[in-house]
Amino acid sequence: MHIERRNALAFFGEATLFGVGMVFVGFTTVLPQFVSRLTGSTVLVGLVIALAEGAWRLPQLAVARWLLPARRKKPWLTRAGLIARPAYLVLGIALWLGVGSQPEVALPLFLTLHGFMFLFLSVDHMVWWDVFAKAITSGRRGRVLGASTVARGVLAVGAGGLIAWLLGEGGPGFPHAYAALFSLTGILLLLSLGSWSLVVEPEEEPVPKPSPRAYLQQLIAVLRENRTFRSLLIVRLVSGFEGLALGFYVLLGTQVLGFSPAYVGVFAAVQTVGGIAAGLGLGLLSERAGIHRVIQVATAASASAPAVALLFLLTGLDAHHLFAFLYAWVFAAIGLSLSANFIGFANGAVELAPTGQRGVYIGLFSTLSGLAVIPPVLGGWVLARSSYGVLLALTACLALLGHALSWRLDPIGGRASPPVRPGPTAPL
What CA–CA distance (Å, rounded) separates 155 from 354? Answer: 35
Phi-psi region for residue 214, left (φ > 0), alpha (ψ -120 to 50) or beta?
Answer: alpha
What CA–CA distance (Å, rounded) separates 423 from 354? Answer: 6
Phi, psi of 297 (to 5 degrees): -65, -45
What CA–CA distance (Å, rounded) separates 187 from 313? Answer: 39
Give the residue from 161, 6, 184 showing the smallest Cα distance to 85: 184
Helix 103-135, helix 358-368: angle, nearest 10: 150
What CA–CA distance (Å, rounded) separates 288 from 279? Answer: 14
User: Is the Cβ–Cβ distance between 282 and 297 less than 8 Å?
Assistant: yes
How high is the pLDDT of residue 125? 85
- The CA-atom distances, in angstroms, between 361 and each of 221, 288, 351 are 11, 23, 10
What CA–CA distance (Å, rounded) separates 9 from 198? Answer: 9
How high is the pLDDT of residue 344? 87
133 exposure class (CB count in 10 Å sphere: 0-12, 13-18, 19+): buried
Phi, psi of 322 (to 5 degrees): -55, -35
Dihedral of alpha carbons 197, 202, 203, 209, sign: negative
- The CA-atom distances, in angstroms, between 296 and each of 129, 267, 301, 361, 405 are 22, 24, 9, 21, 9
How high is the pLDDT of residue 1? 53
Cis peptide before 175 (omega within 30 of 0): yes
* DSSP letter for each residue of 19-46: HHHHHTT-TTTHHHHHHHHHH--HHHHH
What CA–CA distance (Å, rounded) separates 294 from 344? Answer: 5
Domains in the chain, CATH or no CATH each: 3-201+209-406 (1.20.1250.20)
What CA–CA distance (Å, rounded) separates 410 from 418? Answer: 10
What CA–CA distance (Å, rounded) separates 198 from 13? Answer: 10
Give the residue from 299, 285, 322, 252 showing the smallest Cα distance to 141: 285
Give the count of beta carbons closer than 10 Å to the beta carbon of residue 255.
14
Give the residue from 27, 170, 184 showing the smallest Cα distance to 93: 184
- Per-residue pLDDT 10s for the chain (428 aa) are 588 889 999 999 999 999 899 989 988 889 998 998 888 888 888 888 888 888 888 888 888 888 888 888 999 999 999 999 999 999 999 999 999 889 999 999 999 999 999 999 989 988 998 899 889 887 788 788 778 877 887 888 889 889 999 998 888 999 999 999 999 999 999 999 999 999 999 887 777 888 888 888 988 999 999 999 999 999 999 999 999 999 899 999 999 999 998 899 889 888 877 877 777 778 778 878 889 999 999 899 999 999 999 999 999 999 999 899 999 999 999 988 877 777 888 889 888 988 777 778 888 888 888 787 889 889 999 999 999 999 999 999 999 999 999 999 999 976 545 444 333 333 22
